[in-house]
Amino acid sequence: MFYYVYILKSQKDSSLYIGYTSDLIKRFTQHNNGESTATKPFRPYTLIFYEAFLNKADAKNRGEYLKSGYGRRTIKSMLRKYLDT
């Protein structure tokens, strides 16, 4: 089983949302259907990035890192070309 860290971009206000899950397609659908209170006001979303991990703890740690200040800088660096468009 894989665990995924993912980044969604709101089509409404271009904000980013970072999360982790074991079922990426199901979770993405839940976000766009308004089943998550944290993301409901900013939908619809586009999946712009994901990473797969074999261990849940590794995925959770990566998600926490990406939510940090250094992690946000990492995201901006990794997705520079996409975020500039």
Closest of 78, 57, 83 to residue 5, by C-alpha: 57
* Amino acid 2: pLDDT: 98
Q: Where are the domains positioned within the chain?
A: 3-84
Strand partners, 17: 8
* Amino acid 26: pLDDT: 98
Q: Render pLDDT for 11-54 as a digit per residue (tens, 0 to 9).
A: 999 999 999 999 999 999 999 999 999 999 999 999 999 999 99
Q: What are phi and psi of 31, to 5 degrees?
A: -60, -45
CATH number of 3-84: 3.40.1440.10
Against a cut of 0.85, is the pTM above it? yes
| Average confidence (pLDDT) over 49-70 | 98
* Amino acid 73: pLDDT: 96
- Please determine, for residue 85, whether its predicted confidence score (pLDDT) is greater than 70: no
